[in-house]
Amino acid sequence: MNYFLSENVGNSRDAGTKPKKDIEQILESLNFVKIGIDFSISKKNFSVKLKKSLKALKAGDVLLVQYPLKKAYIVSKECRRLKKKGVNTIVVVHDLNHLRLLKPRNLNDWVNKYQWKMRDLVILKSFSLVVAHNKIMKSYIEKFKISSEKIIELGIFDYLLPTELGIQEFSKDDVIIAGNLSEEKAAFVYKLPTESSYGLYGINYTTKDKRDNVHYYGSFDANNPSCLGGKFGLVWDGDSVHTCSGNFGEYLRYNNPYKLSMYLALGIPVLVWKESALSEFVEEQGVGIAISDLDSIPNILENMSEDDYQKFKHNATEISIKLRKGDFFKNAIKKSLTLITNS
């Protein structure tokens, strides 16, 4: 039997909870059995309930866990016990928190980074297989002395949407930016060049200025992002328009930003940082352009022919079908189960 551990992640206006919920939905479509646990109870009670809930698992069964999650150390400890019992365990990585502290600023940052790194290392090594974002993250995880054969590349996160939600054909702005727009995470938003028009969608937008080329449309429901409309979707982070900098910007060298999946699921081509982990994917799939800085956008748009844009649009529309159905994660699970069967 195949099982997955479910954590009640709640709801969010910035799509923070949708990736885990989408994966749970895909797993259920693949006949994985849901094991729900109340993660809000005390550690002692949680440990007892977790062992009880997993007691029926036997050798040959599969248990999948999504990480990070609350009480992760207790879960990983139980997964180590299950491995000894012959249960195959899979962890799907959403974030590695220590990679968000790539450039510690002080002693406290260094201590936090080390503690998070040790936590991530111990937890990932507790599982039989690891599903990582992409080949760059896979190479990084291999440094944890986890065998390459035990790490599955996801490629890109899926973004489940109802089939009746059409592909976005309208373009309110040249470029749209969706997500958490706080100055702490996305300071570049408050420094956008005056050329080209930008549409902002998301929470925590604080500026009161009235730039003619920047339009704020409020937050949106991650399960129904049909209000988004633009020629390109921008995947950028950090405090600079000249490069992706700071911890959030540097994190793009490793992770699969969920907003990229959202844009493509809507059939919107993308602009991504040239040094980001998914720039190669974007260019190989022909769904957008990798750029070095935001100042280059006006020139790119001005010199792009309609035929060239329609090629990007066509390719984005094609890949949206796969993202909406969960094909990338289904493929990763298929590979995982094949490895388990052949081991």
**What are the tokens at 244?**
């992706």
Are residues 149 and 215 both part of a single domain? no
Whole-number pLDDT of residue 10: 55
| Selection from 4-13, 60-69, 168-177, 223-232 with the highest mean pLDDT | 60-69
Mean pLDDT of 108-128: 86
Mean pLDDT of 25-29: 97
Q: Which residues contact 336 (CB under 8 A, 6 or more apart)?
A: 90, 129, 131, 152
The answer to whether position 178 is within a domain reads yes
Mean pLDDT of 172-193: 92
The answer to whether position 163 is within a domain reads no
Q: CA-to-CA distance for 122 and 144, rounded, in angstroms?
A: 9
Whole-number pLDDT of residue 9: 59
Tell me the per-residue pLDDT of 274-290, one tens digit each, with 9 for 90 and over: 999 999 999 999 999 99
Q: Given CA atoms 275, 279, 284, 289 in this order, what sign does their dihedral have?
A: negative
Are residues 206 and 320 both part of a single domain? yes
Q: 203 forms bridges with which residues in the sheet? A: 180
Specify the pTM. 0.92
**What are the tokens at 297?**
């956008």
The answer to whether position 336 is within a domain reads yes
Tell me the per-residue pLDDT of 296-306, one tens digit each, with 9 for 90 and over: 999 999 999 99
Q: Please give the distance of CA 138 from its chain centroid, rounded to a whole number.
A: 15
Is pLDDT of 164 > 90? no
The answer to whether position 304 is within a domain reads yes
The answer to whether position 164 is within a domain reads no
Whole-number pLDDT of residue 106: 76
Q: CA-to-CA distance for 138 and 108, rounded, in angstroms?
A: 28
Are residues 268 and 338 both part of a single domain? no
Quick check: 301 and 174 in contact, CB under 8 A? yes
Are residues 10 and 144 both part of a single domain? yes
The answer to whether position 166 is within a domain reads no
Are residues 320 and 180 both part of a single domain? yes
The range of the structural domain enclosing residue 180 comes to 173-324
Whole-number pLDDT of residue 17: 87
Are residues 330 and 320 both part of a single domain? no
Are residues 138 and 242 both part of a single domain? no
**What are the tokens at 246?**
């700071």
Tell me the per-residue pLDDT of 87-116, one tens digit each, with 9 for 90 and over: 999 999 999 988 876 666 777 777 777 788
Whole-number pLDDT of residue 265: 96
Are residues 144 and 246 both part of a single domain? no
Q: CA-to-CA distance for 181 and 184, rounded, in angstroms?
A: 8
Is pLDDT of 174 > 60? yes
Are residues 36 and 103 both part of a single domain? yes
Tell me the per-residue pLDDT of 239-248, one tens digit each, with 9 for 90 and over: 899 999 888 8
Whole-number pLDDT of residue 103: 66
The answer to whether position 72 is within a domain reads yes
Are residues 209 and 123 both part of a single domain? no
The answer to whether position 7 is within a domain reads yes
How many domains does the chain divide into? 2
Are residues 146 and 80 both part of a single domain? yes
Are residues 186 and 243 both part of a single domain? yes
Q: What is the CATH number of the domain that holds 135?
A: 3.40.50.2000
